[in-house]
Structure 1
């Protein structure tokens, strides 16, 4: 499933094509939504917003399209109105005078009055967007110390969208490794320095992934591995998907476990239990 950085990159691409422009054609893939096409056609897109893994397309007249890519959804933007051949189902089509924005395969789409979005069952529960530019590491540190989060393992916390919206499986492994935090540790078990390091790593790793298109390694390390001729899949992550391979920091073997129902990777040396 795409995580916060991937959704924000898609939103930024959509914004470049749609924001401030009049939508000439709107088409929904689900019949129950087709009645909204007329209500949205002819109006300008005011803003493309993300809330974690959800995307909000705000129109100037007070309506918003909510969409969540889930596992298989993907946006494609093309010049012109001739849609490319695809085996995927078109779930949403937005066309300006010059471009087409197509959402394929996603099934969680709805139209809301913008002022009523606080009542949306997903949006009402999510925490701050991990990709929000105004999010500061001190905000994350404060959330880690909140009563409702402080006694939960960080492995479960870093998949909980109520804690931070946009976190996901690869970010969880990479953030905890970068901060040298054992996945089973609870914020209550961590020192003030640990909390600060984890909060900073949360922003560093997620924003680096956004900047690089999905690479969490430092540019220096990623560049060195590229010079060695390694394929991109072998020079993306510190630990995620690297079970039984050596840690880039200490050489210890990376371990894979199932925690909170999802695969998690960590270094037995760098992330020792306290």
Structure 2
């Protein structure tokens, strides 16, 4: 499933293709939304933004389309504007004179009044979105120091969208490595300095992944490995999905553990201090 950086990049692409352009045609696959097609035709989209793993599309009449890709949903914006050839099920299509955007396979699409967005059952449960322009460093740090989460295991907590939204499985392992913390502890077991490092890592790696298109590794390491003709999978991350490979920082073999049904990856030397 795409994580926050990928969803925000999708929102960026939708903004480029749709924002400020008059809609010439609109399509919903859902019967309950069909009556809204003619109402949206002729309007302009004013903004598209991500909220964790959902996307909000704002129309000029104060209507907002909420869409969540779940596991299989995907937006496609073909350069020629023609509908892509795919076996996926088309859910939404938005057309203007310059091009089109198509949403495939998503099962969760709704129209909301703008003033009801924050009351949506998914949105209202979210913690601060690490990549949202209104989120501050203090907002993220506050979560790590909150008593509300202190008894939660960090590996589970980092996947909880009510803690910090936009974090998924690859960012989880990368954040713990970058902060240099033991992944086996509860939040209350970390020192103040470690919590500060976790907050810093959460912001730094989320922003880095957004800016680079998915790379969380340090730029200096990436460039060095590229000069050695390393594959993308070898230089993209510090530890995620690198079981059995050497840590880029210390040379120790990367290990994995399963927690909550999903794998985490870590460097025993950099993170475990038994």
- Bin the TM-score by the shorter chain: over 0.9
Conservation of the 8 A alpha-carbon contact between 1:11 and 1:55: yes
SS of residue paired to 1:26? strand
Q: Give the drift of 1:141.
A: 1.6
TM-score, normalisation: structure 1: 0.95
- The answer for unaligned runs of 5 or more in structure 2 is none
C-alpha RMSD of the superposition: 1.4
Conservation of the 8 A alpha-carbon contact between 2:255 and 2:266: yes
Q: Give the drift of 1:81.
A: 4.3
Conservation of the 8 A alpha-carbon contact between 1:51 and 1:128: no
SS of residue paired to 2:6? helix
Structure 1 residues 105-154: Cα deviation after superposition (integer angstroms, max 9, x where no partner): 21111111111112211111011111113433332121111121122111
Instruction: State how far apart, in whole Å, the 2-side matches of 1:116 and 1:39 are.
Output: 19
Instruction: State how far apart, in whole Å, the 2-side matches of 1:33 and 1:171 are.
Output: 35
SS of residue paired to 1:87? coil
TM-score, normalisation: structure 2: 0.95
Q: Give the structure 1 partner of residue 226 of structure 2.
A: 226
Q: Give the drift of 1:75.
A: 1.3
Q: Give the structure 1 partner of residue 173 of structure 2.
A: 173
Instruction: State how far apart, in whole Å, the 2-side matches of 1:48 and 1:138 are.
Output: 25
**Where do 4+ consecutive residues of structure 1 move more than 3 Å?**
none
Q: Give the drift of 1:168.
A: 0.3
Structure 1 residues 189-243: Cα deviation after superposition (integer angstroms, max 9, x where no partner): 1222111111111011011101110010111111111111121122111111001
Conservation of the 8 A alpha-carbon contact between 2:128 and 2:139: no
1:89 is aligned to 2:89: yes
Q: Give the structure 2 partner of residue 203 of structure 1.
A: 203
Q: Give the drift of 1:273.
A: 4.8
1:53 is aligned to 2:73: no
Between Structure 1 and Structure 2, how many residues are aligned? 274
- The answer for unaligned runs of 5 or more in structure 1 is none
Conservation of the 8 A alpha-carbon contact between 2:29 and 2:92: yes
Q: Give the structure 1 partner of residue 70 of structure 2.
A: 70
Q: Give the structure 2 partner of residue 24 of structure 1.
A: 24
Greater helix percent: which structure?
2
SS of residue paired to 1:102? strand
Q: Give the drift of 1:33.
A: 2.3
Instruction: State how far apart, in whole Å, the 2-side matches of 1:241 and 1:80 are.
Output: 36
